[in-house]
Amino acid sequence: MNLERQLAVQDLNARYVDAIDEGRFEQWPDFFADDGHYRITTAENVEQGLPLSIIYATSRAMLRDRVRALREANVYEAQRYRHVLAPPRIEPAGEGSVRAQTSFMVARIMHTGETALFATGRYVDRVVLAGDAARFADKTVILDSRQIDTLLAIPL
């Protein structure tokens, strides 16, 4: 295990979830490479070899559109997430990039005070390490559950 890379990915993960948990959605696309892919799907779809996603973006621009929609178009009650992540398990993926897999639990807290365990699963990522800037070339969020409570507005 290459400690330096391990910590680089761990730091990327930490900054990524902090941006989401603190509602800095505008920064979210910047954690991805220009042509970065992002999708959310379920373990059930993955196991059945079915391609459907809950969110599916093939470029940073699509992520910016998603943020724009969240800010300007979509209607949802005030809510926040709290992520807790396990340390990532990483392995080399050739030329300055690594594969990383990270378990997560996410609680959702509504403005009413209601708190619930909202999602669990794992991130399956390819991270490019260009100099000291680490970015997601590909991030797949695989939810353990097939079921979402009410809606999934804020990205995971």
Specify the amino acid at residue 48: Q
140 scored as a contact of other proteins (CB under 8 A): no
Give the number of other Cβ atoms within 10 Å of residue 28's Cβ: 20
148 scored as a contact of other proteins (CB under 8 A): yes
Nearest approach, Cβ of residue 85 and a second copy (Å):
6
Give the number of other Cβ atoms within 10 Å of residue 70's Cβ: 15
Distance (Å, whole) CA 121 – CA 102: 8
Q: What is the DSSP letter of 49?
A: T
- List the one residue from 22, 34, 35, 77 that touches other proteins (CB under 8 A): 77
Instruction: Show contacts with other proteins in window 113-132 (CB under 8 A).
Output: 113
Tokens linked to 26: 């505008």
String of contacts with a second copy for each residue 90-129, x by CB under 8 A: -----------x-xxx-x-x-xxxxxxx-xxxx-------
- List the one residue from 42, 97, 102, 140 that touches other proteins (CB under 8 A): 42
33 scored as a contact of other proteins (CB under 8 A): no
Give the CB-side neighbour count of residue 19, counting CA atoms within 13 A. Answer: 18
